[in-house]
């Protein structure tokens, strides 16, 4: 288990990486990590590109602010995920461009937004449900997110962006990046005849790398 100081530094490091590569902008997006006695969360109104580890919000098990700046206004999204995924140790929420663009399209499958274009998407994200639009900060959104989080490690908020859980911060970030890249591929391929993975290929990936809380690459065979 990493120390709180290490976790704070990891949040700042990954936040800056996401910001510098254009996966989030301005003061959008937020990150949280579960600790033994609560959570660390990025503060409200902060830029992921310029986080001060010492000012990251620390919340206790009852979600009361213990130290640091006030937490993100979307803390309820993180709590909804954690409540249904007890093995989740981190959550990333972004307003990443291509994922948001897909969430604005008409006619997408609300039970599984993106097709299985690559094995890595199936392994890192799996089926991606769309959560209907709610105004920013509306806490009733937490109920719908929690309902989907029981069976999915990631959800896509309509006209808003992805929320992704992981067994640690790195896995949550990598899964979010895989989702964004798949959304980009999906948009690039619009209007083109596309070969997706077959149902049999997806089933085999799901058999070898079951969707759930364990990071898929921890199950890769050795040798």
**65-67: strand order across its sheet:** 65-67, 57-60, 38-41, 30-35, 90-93, 161-166, 154-157, 130-131
Q: Which residues contact 22 (CB under 8 A, 6 or more apart)?
A: 97
Q: Both tokens of residue 126?
A: 């799996």
Task: Report the DSSP beta bridge partners of residue 90.
Answer: 33, 166
Instruction: Tell me which of 10, 74, 177, 180 is the catalytic residue.
Output: 74
pLDDT digit string, tens, across residues 70-83: 999 999 999 999 99
Burial 150-167 (b: 16+ CB within 10 A, else e): eebbbbbbbebbbbbbbb
Answer whether residue 144 shows pLDDT above 80: yes
Answer whether residue 187 shows pLDDT above 90: yes
Instruction: Tell me which of 4, 9, 84, 120 is the catalytic residue.
Output: 120
Tell me the mean pLDDT in the region 45-62. Answer: 97
92 near 31, Cβ under 8 Å?
yes
Tell me the mean pLDDT in the region 144-171. Answer: 96
Q: What angle do CA 125, 128, 132 make, to 5 degrees?
A: 145
Helix (H/G/I), strand (E/B), else coil: 220: coil
Q: What is the pLDDT of residue 216?
A: 42
103 near 158, Cβ under 8 Å?
yes
pLDDT digit string, tens, across residues 86-140: 999 999 999 999 999 999 999 999 999 999 999 999 999 999 999 999 998 888 9
C-beta atoms surrounding 61 within 10 Å: 10
* Gyration radius of the chain over CA positions: 17
Q: Both tokens of residue 51?
A: 């986080």
Helix (H/G/I), strand (E/B), else coil: 202: helix
Instruction: For residues 140 and 150, give the distance between their C-alpha atoms in angstroms, rounded to a whole number.
Output: 17
158 near 133, Cβ under 8 Å?
yes
178 a catalytic residue:
no
74 a catalytic residue:
yes
Q: Which CATH architecture has domain 4-212?
A: 3-Layer(aba) Sandwich (3.40)
Place of tokens 């307003």: 95
Q: Which of 67, 56, 66 has the alpha carbon at shortest distance from 33?
A: 56
pTM: predicted TM-score of the whole model, two decimal places:
0.92
């Amino acid at each position: 288990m990493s120390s709180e100081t290490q976790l704070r530094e990891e949040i700042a490091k990954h936040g800056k990486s996401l910001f510098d590569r254009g996966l989030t902008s301005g003061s959008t997006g937020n990150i949280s990590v579960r600790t033994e006695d609560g959570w660390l969360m990025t503060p409200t109104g902060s830029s992921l590109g310029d986080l001060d580890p010492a000012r990251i919000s620390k919340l206790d098990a009852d979600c009361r602010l213990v130290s640091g700046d006030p937490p993100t206004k979307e803390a309820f999204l993180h709590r909804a995920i954690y409540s249904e995924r007890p093995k989740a140790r981190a959550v990333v929420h972004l307003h990443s461009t291509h994922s948001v663009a897909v969430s604005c399209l008409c006619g997408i499958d609300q039970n599984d937004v993106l097709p299985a274009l690559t094995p890595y998407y199936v392994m890192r994200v799996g089926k991606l449900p769309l959560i209907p639009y709610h105004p920013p900060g509306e806490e009733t959104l937490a109920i719908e997110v929690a309902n989907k989080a029981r069976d999915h490690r990631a959800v896509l908020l309509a006209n808003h962006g992805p929320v992704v859980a992981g067994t640690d911060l790195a896995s949550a970030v990598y899964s979010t990046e895989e989702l964004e890249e798949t959304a980009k591929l999906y948009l690039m391929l619009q209007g083109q005849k596309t070969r997706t993975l077959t149902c049999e290929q997806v089933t085999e990936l799901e058999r070898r790398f079951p969707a759930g809380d364990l990071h898929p690459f921890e199950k890769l065979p050795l040798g």
